[in-house]
């Protein structure tokens, strides 16, 4: 495939606001996980973004205020992202910039709060509850388009934990079809009761900070965050700087099970192989693989099998969820931005909290920071229902 340029980008998670803070936390091996005390739920650890719930939205229509949009707004205000989009808007026109964003739960916390406040007589939610601008899956791209003054087509992608990775693919289709000249791509997912209690009900929440790839791993830590990139055809806009290039992708849907991955990893292998083929690369040309690496017994084992099938032990890999927790539909964009940070700074982070790598694993799992030039990174996202997406990024 012809590479696309990433001309601006930003990331927000429990480890920091913006690229510099993220790089610092990754290099310092400083986790953002803390004991869960969200909405009265005290189960395991979470990656919570401070001030998210009190952040004030300005310059948009009333009704958009919800935790998910607050995270998105905080991200838009970082790293000069809104200013970079404004320059692109001046060049292309507001109607030629699309917004394609991934989320798995959108602003469902607002609906949960509204349900708790139902009128006991009529059963009606409180009058200030605006479902279309908060809980609805289209709330996020509608808000971001309004926030950035964009008038092009918008799309919400909800493919479970692969949502914001898959958003890259749909954005590319729109660029190739000529529907737009640039796309704001990314996503956001926020903490809510349904996610915390739902994963706990499945027995997937670790009582301690998640430790992906560890022999004694016991599950996930749920996180939240947001991130965006501005994706353009390289060279289309003179003067636009390039942070990195998106050079390959692979997608598959194996439909093995509602919530458990295929132990033979057929869908994961297909997605990674397709990404390599589209990028015109062989396995030896990757410098690092950012694993989906949730910290559950079955997910990590499946992904180790998939990576070893294609790469053997030749490419170092690790999961970064020990820093942020599993940010669900936002994990793809957050970890894509981690890839850009790693390529810029020249390092690959080893998994956090690992005491002993699972002895059954055969891939090259890192447990310490590896300082070396990093030019190409594969980032994996595998979601419930067997939706798989692998992206390959290249430095400049």
For residue 72, give the H/E element and its range: helix 67-76
**4-233 and 247-394 share one fold:** yes
Annotation marks residue 161 as catalytic: yes
Q: Percentage of residues in the chain with pLDDT exceeding 70?
A: 99
Annotation marks residue 351 as catalytic: no
Whether the Cβ atoms of residue 341 and residue 22 lie closer than 8 Å to each other: yes
- Residue 121 pLDDT greater than 70, yes or no: yes
pLDDT of residue 377: 98
| pLDDT level of residue 259 (50, 70, 90 thresholds) | low
- Residue 144 pLDDT greater than 90, yes or no: yes
| pLDDT level of residue 350 (50, 70, 90 thresholds) | very high
Rounded CA gap, 194 and 179, in Å? 36
Name the pTM for this structure: 0.97
- Residue 221 pLDDT greater than 70, yes or no: yes
- Residue 263 pLDDT greater than 90, yes or no: no
Domain ranges within the chain, ordered by starting residue: 4-233, 247-394
Question: What CATH code would you report for 4-233?
Answer: 3.40.47.10
Least confident of 116-130, 259-273, 301-315: 259-273
Rounded CA gap, 46 and 123, in Å? 33
pLDDT of residue 258: 65
Rounded CA gap, 89 and 95, in Å? 8
**Which among 184, 171, 161, 202 has a CA at the least distance from the CA of 319?**
161
Task: From the options 3.40.50.970, 1.20.1630.10, 2.60.120.920, 3.40.47.10, give the CATH code of 247-394.
Answer: 3.40.47.10
**Which among 315, 334, 317 has a CA at the least distance from the CA of 325?**
334
Annotation marks residue 257 as catalytic: no
Whether the Cβ atoms of residue 183 and residue 199 lie closer than 8 Å to each other: no
Whether the Cβ atoms of residue 146 and residue 61 lie closer than 8 Å to each other: yes
- Residue 261 pLDDT greater than 80, yes or no: no
The 10s digit of each residue's pLDDT in 271-329 is 999 999 999 999 999 999 999 999 999 999 999 999 999 999 999 999 999 999 999 99
Strands ordered across the beta sheet of 34-35: 34-35, 45-47, 222-223
What is the rounded average pLDDT for all residues in the chain? 96
pLDDT of residue 127: 93
The pLDDT of 58-82, averaged and rounded, is 96
The 10s digit of each residue's pLDDT in 377-387 is 999 999 877 89
Whether the Cβ atoms of residue 95 and residue 19 lie closer than 8 Å to each other: no
- Residue 141 pLDDT greater than 90, yes or no: yes
Which residue out of 161, 180, 317, 389 is catalytically annotated?
A: 161
- Residue 256 pLDDT greater than 80, yes or no: no
pLDDT of residue 324: 98
Which residue out of 213, 317, 326, 351 is catalytically annotated?
A: 326
pLDDT of residue 133: 96
The pLDDT of 381-396, averaged and rounded, is 92
pLDDT of residue 267: 92
Rounded CA gap, 63 and 130, in Å? 6
Which residue out of 292, 305, 351, 389 is catalytically annotated?
A: 292
**HSE of 296, CA atoms in CB hemisphere, 13 A:** 21
- Residue 140 pLDDT greater than 80, yes or no: yes
């Amino acid at each position: 495939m012809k590479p696309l340029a990433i001309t601006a980008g930003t990331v927000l998670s429990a480890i920091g606001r913006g690229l510099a803070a993220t790089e610092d936390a990754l290099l310092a091996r400083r986790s953002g996980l803390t004991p869960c005390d969200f909405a009265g739920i005290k189960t395991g650890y979470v990656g919570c973004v401070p001030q998210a719930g009190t952040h004030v939205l300005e310059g948009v229509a009333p009704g958009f205020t919800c935790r998910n949009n607050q995270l998105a707004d905080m991200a838009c205000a970082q790293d000069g992202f809104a200013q970079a989009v404004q320059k692109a808007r001046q060049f292309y026109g507001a109607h030629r910039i699309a917004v394609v964003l991934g989320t798995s739960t959108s602003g469902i916390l607002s609906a949960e709060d509204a349900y708790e406040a139902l009128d006991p007589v009529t059963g009606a939610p409180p009058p200030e509850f605006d479902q279309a601008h908060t809980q609805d899956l289209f709330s996020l791209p509608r808000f971001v388009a309004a926030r950035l003054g964009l008038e092009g087509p918008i799309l919400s992608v909800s493919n479970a934990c692969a949502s914001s990775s898959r958003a890259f693919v749909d954005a590319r289709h729109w660029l190739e079809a000529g529907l737009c000249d640039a796309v704001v791509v990314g996503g956001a997912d926020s903490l809510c009761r349904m996610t915390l209690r739902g994963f706990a009900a499945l027995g997937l929440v670790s009582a301690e900070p998640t430790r992906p790839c560890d022999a004694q791993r016991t599950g996930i830590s749920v996180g939240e965050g947001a991130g965006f990139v501005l994706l353009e055809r390289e060279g289309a806009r003179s003067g636009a700087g390039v942070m990195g290039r998106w050079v390959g992708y692979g997608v598959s849907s194996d439909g093995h099970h509602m919530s458990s991955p295929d132990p033979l990893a057929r869908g994961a292998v297909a997605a990674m192989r397709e990404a390599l083929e589209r990028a015109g690369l062989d396995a030896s040309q990757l410098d690092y693989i950012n694993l989906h690496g949730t910290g559950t017994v079955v997910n990590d084992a499946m992904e180790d099998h998939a990576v070893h099938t294609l790469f053997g032990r030749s490419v170092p890999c690790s999961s970064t969820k020990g820093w942020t927790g599993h940010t669900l539909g936002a994990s793809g964009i957050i970890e894509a931005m981690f890839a850009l940070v790693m390529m810029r700074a020249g390092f690959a982070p080893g998994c956090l909290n690992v005491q002993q790598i699972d002895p059954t694993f055969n891939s090259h799992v890192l447990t310490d920071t590896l300082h070396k030039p990093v030019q190409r990174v594969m980032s994996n996202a595998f979601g419930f229902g067997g939706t798989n997406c692998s992206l390959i990024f290249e430095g400049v």
